[in-house]
Amino acid sequence: MAKELWKGNEAIAEAAIKAGCKFFFGYPITPQNEIPEYMAMRMPQIEGAAFVQAESEVAAINMVYGGAGSGARVMTSSSSPGISLKQEGITYIAGAELPCVIVNIVRGGPGLGGIQPAQSDYFQATKGGGHGDYRLLVLAPSSVQEAVDLTQEAFDMADQYRNPVMIMGDGMIGQMMEPVEFTDVPKRNLPEKTWATTGTKGKREHNVINSLFIDPAACEKHNIHLFEKYAEMEKNEVRVEEYNMDGAEIVFVAYGTTARIVKNAIATLGKEGIKAGLIRPITLWPYPSKTVEAAAAKANVKAFLTVEMSMGQMVEDVRLAVNGAKPVHFYGRTGGMVPTPAAIVAEAKKVLGGAK
């Protein structure tokens, strides 16, 4: 297939459909409206598929619970305030071990905040905005093409681990158009969904989708089971891009669109004779801690500079991985402001101790 220009939001929606997603439950919110709108247009064209505009984000995530519990490939999408409303539902889905894909096209916060791009929902996504011990797989595309590829694979990941997967983009990823090629991502070998509620058909014991364990020993056991699963994910699913790392004296850590801006900055620094590299986590959870740790161990690396569209969230995971081996700095813009390459260059020079 030739490359076509696609708007990020619509590309994500089409990618989901290509991955076999037949059920979408959502509620409008800027800057992700093109996802439900595209689904509203496409789902009626597909046999047995459904688009439901839920009455709220709370309802939407619980529709996802019901649909996922019935074994279907199900998706919802929203932006920051709507994702906050979904937190109870998300922890239920994680607790009941249901596979689904949740898209968050992040905007500025806190509260009603603004509608411009941001990355200030990192903590919420990776540390658990809901209560209890649980994890989402969190994927952070930095181009529309990557959004398409990750969305398609997300459904397989979700099914493999029976776990919710979050695609975390920002207003830029959602709104911009870029060339896209829909390729068939390699299909994983997936277990049958014998646990799904589709009616017993008189052929098996009744299936129960549930996250309640009233006996604390059973509840703990369930948690330990979940964490064994999370350990598997940590082993198998970490993704990261390393860029220009050879001989880098300063290592940027940035994800999503911010990483692209950092690449511009790296080019500028390079022209000025400063070797800068980039570690771009593609999975925000599981976090590529080993890659960061390995970089911290290199003699040429003098410092880390984490760049985020937030007041500093992912930087904690960088610090945890570096564990004191090298200084870790932070530069961020927030509330919908986007860092400029020039500002990043300046910050990098400051970190390296003045202009070179």
Partner 1 sequence: MAVVFQKTKGLTDKQFHYCPGCTHGIIHRLVAEVLEELGLLDDAIGVAPVGCAVFCYDYFSCDMQEAAHGRAPAVATGIKRVNPKSAVFTYQGDGDLASIGAAEIVHASMRGEKFTTIFVNNAIYGMTGGQMAPTTLVGQKATTAPYGRNEDLAGMPLRVSEMLATIPKAVFVERVSVHDIPNINKAKKAIKKAFEIQMKGLGFTFVEILSTCPTNWGKTPLESLKWLQENMIPYFPLGNFRNVEEVK
Partner 2 sequence: MTHEIVMAGFGGQGVMAIGKIIAEAGLKEGKNVSWLPSYGPEMRGGTASCNVIVSADPVGSPIVTGATEAIVLNRPSLDKFEKDVVPGGMLFINSSLIDKKSTRDDIKVYYVPANDIANELGNGKIANMVMLGAYIAATNAVSEDTIMEIVTEMFQGKKASVIPLNKEALAKGAECVK
* Residue numbers at the binding site for its own copies (CB under 8 A): 58, 80-81, 83-85, 87-88, 91-96, 106, 108-116, 118, 120-121, 123-124, 127-134, 210-223, 226-227, 310-311, 313, 316, 319-320, 323-325, 333-337
Query: Considering the rule CB under 6 A, would residue 29 count as an interface residue with ligand TPP?
Result: yes
Name the DSSP class of 127.
Answer: I
Name the DSSP class of 186.
Answer: P
C-beta of 108 vs 286, nearer to ligand TPP: 108
* CA distance linking residue 316 with residue 319, whole number of Å: 5
Task: From the list its own copies, ligand TPP, partner 1, none, pick the one residue 70 interacts with, judged by a Cβ distance below 5 to 8 Å according to partner type.
Answer: partner 1
C-beta of 21 vs 344, nearer to partner 2: 344
C-beta of 216 vs 354, nearer to partner 2: 216
Are 278 and 263 contacting, i.e. CB atoms less than 8 angstroms apart?
A: yes
- Burial bucket for residue 53 (CB in 10 Å: 0-12, 13-18, 19+): middle
- Of 241, 248, 261, nearest in space to 308 by CA: 261
Query: Considering the rule CB under 8 A, would residue 31 count as an interface residue with partner 2?
Result: yes
* Both tokens assigned to 68: 């996922």
Q: Which residues pair with 329 in a beta bridge?
A: 305
Footprint (CB under 6 A) of ligand TPP, residues 106-165: none
Are 58 and 17 contacting, i.e. CB atoms less than 8 angstroms apart?
A: no
Rg over CA atoms, the chain: 21
Instruction: Give, in degrees to the nearest 5, the angle at Cα 33 between 111 and 176.
Output: 100
Footprint (CB under 8 A) of partner 2, residues 56-85: none
| Site size toward ligand TPP, by CB under 6 A | 7
Choices 77-85, 232-240, 265-273, 342-350; region in contact with ligand TPP by CB under 6 A:
77-85
Query: Considering the rule CB under 8 A, would residue 217 count as an interface residue with partner 2?
Result: no
Are 240 and 291 contacting, i.e. CB atoms less than 8 angstroms apart?
A: yes
Provide the minimum distance between the beta carbon of 93 and partner 1 in the complex, in angstroms, as a whole number.
10
Maximum pairwise Cα distance, the chain:
76
* CA distance linking residue 29 with residue 34, whole number of Å: 9
| Binding flags for partner 2, 315-334, as an x/- string (CB under 8 A) | --------------------
- Of 101, 122, 134, nearest in space to 18 by CA: 101
Are 164 and 226 contacting, i.e. CB atoms less than 8 angstroms apart?
A: no
Query: Considering the rule CB under 6 A, would residue 85 count as an interface residue with ligand TPP?
Result: yes
Interface residue with partner 2 among 21, 240, 261, 296 (CB under 8 A) is 261
* CA distance linking residue 66 with residue 86, whole number of Å: 14
Provide the minimum distance between the beta carbon of 181 and partner 1 in the complex, in angstroms, as a whole number.
26
* CA distance linking residue 233 with residue 228, whole number of Å: 9
Name the DSSP class of 115.
Answer: S
C-beta of 108 vs 288, nearer to partner 1: 108
Query: Considering the rule CB under 6 A, would residue 28 count as an interface residue with ligand TPP?
Result: yes
C-beta of 67 vs 130, nearer to ligand TPP: 130
Report the residue closest to ligand TPP, judged by CB.
29
C-beta of 189 vs 194, nearer to partner 1: 194
Provide the minimum distance between the beta carbon of 4 and partner 2 in the complex, in angstroms, as a whole number.
8
Query: Considering the rule CB under 8 A, would residue 177 count as an interface residue with partner 2?
Result: yes
Provide the minimum distance between the beta carbon of 247 and its own copies in the complex, in angstroms, as a whole number.
24
> Residue with structure tokens 């505009």?
53
Task: From the list its own copies, partner 2, ligand TPP, none, pick the one residue 186 interacts with, judged by a Cβ distance below 5 to 8 Å according to partner type.
Answer: none
* CA distance linking residue 51 with residue 14, whole number of Å: 13
Sites of contact with partner 2 (CB under 8 A): 3-5, 30-31, 115-116, 171-172, 175-179, 214, 257, 260-261, 263-264, 267, 338, 340-342
Sites of contact with ligand TPP (CB under 6 A): 27-29, 57, 81-82, 85
